[in-house]
Homo-oligomer: A and B are copies of this chain.
Amino acid sequence: MAIDSLQARIRKMKNPSMVCLCPTYEALPAGVKDAAREAHGETLLGAAAAYEAFCCAILDALQDVLPAVSVVSGAFSALGADGVAAMQRVLAYARQLGYYVLIDLMRADLFSAAEDMAAACFGQLAVGGQRFTPYACDGVLTTAYLGSDAIRPFTQYCKDGKNVFLIARSSNKSAREVQDLLSGDRVMHQVMADLAMRWSGDLYGRNGYSEIGLAVGATNSAVLKRLREKYDRLFFLVPGYGAQGGYAKDAAGAFDKFGHGAVVMAGRLITNAWQKHSETGDDFARCAREAAVKMREQLTSYVTVI
């Protein structure tokens, strides 16, 4: 899939939002932890099994509501190899269910490590005569502080229908410490946007959006709006909705006049919605679905996806 198919899925489901899967053990429902503990004890394998069961149940419950999912690799990687194995299964399951699948890499490698990681996500990693794609997905979110050497290994797959999103203005509070600094007549997050434009070359979809997009948080609506106006050919991932304080009204600034060109990301708002309703979280998947439906309603009260 590429940026056109992401937009097509959003239009089909009339929902410009996606869920971030960023599990952490303590925040999982008791039932999920109990089942994993019974099978594997209190081990990293047990925690990984709990992550997988939790995420796959949420993917099941949301498949007719949400067009896309983002898998936060750091959350799974923290569990070591067992966590990464669980992440690979979650990625495969999300693709099987038809989601547009993004990996939030939160990383940027160089040289052979970058080439190999890009092949692992988008292409075919060669082991002698065999080929593997352990992290098959539709797009990655990465960071461009290292410049084009770290990004080109990924963008070379854009012509094959893959997307690369650069962190421009993240949604966390300390984002301003670096990303809002002024350089000449541009702030740093604009520098990232300019790099995305420069690296886009002729990589544009039918809707006019580049296969290389940006992550721009919903927590600073002025920045979001200004970037939307200036960079009308860059698709935006918009994190920070809900738990981090961004709202539908703020996120609305990310969209063009057709309600295109952006997708709003929510993590805890959806995945931890059960915590508002029960102690044990036995109905976590239903709560996640309700939260996702409510988020769709809130967004579409400000944004009409044509």
Cα separation A41 to B129 with both chains bound (whole Å): 10
Say whether B183 contacts A167, CB under 8 Å. Answer: no
- Whether a CB of chain B sits under 8 angstroms from the CB of A1 is no
Shortest Cβ distance from A34 into chain B, in angstroms? 10
Q: Which of A21-29, A157-165, A206-214 is near enough to bind chain B?
A: A21-29
Which range holds the interface residue count of chain A?
Answer: 35 or more
Interface 1/0s, chain A 25-40, versus B by CB < 8 A?
1110000010001000
The residues in A between 112 and 138 inclusive whose CB is less than 8 angstroms from any CB of B are: 112-117, 119-120, 125-130, 132, 134-135
Contact status B42-A127, CB under 8 Å: yes
Residues of B with C-beta under 8 A to A22: 111-113
Instruction: Judge if A191 is at the interface, Cβ distance under 8 Å.
Output: yes
Which one of A55-63, A70-78, A248-256 contacts B?
Answer: A70-78
Residue pairs across A and B with Cβ atoms less than 8 A apart, 24 shown, are A22-B113, A26-B126, A37-B128, A42-B127, A44-B132, A74-B107, A74-B109, A74-B113, A77-B84, A77-B120, A78-B113, A78-B120, A80-B132, A81-B84, A81-B85, A106-B107, A106-B108, A110-B172, A111-B172, A145-B178, A147-B178, A149-B172, A182-B184, A183-B183
User: Measuring CB to CB, which residues of chain A are less than 8 angstroms from any residue of chain B?
Assistant: 22, 24-27, 33, 37, 41-44, 46-47, 72, 74-75, 77-82, 84-85, 88, 105-117, 119-120, 125-130, 132, 134-135, 143-150, 167, 170, 172-179, 181-184, 188, 191-192, 195
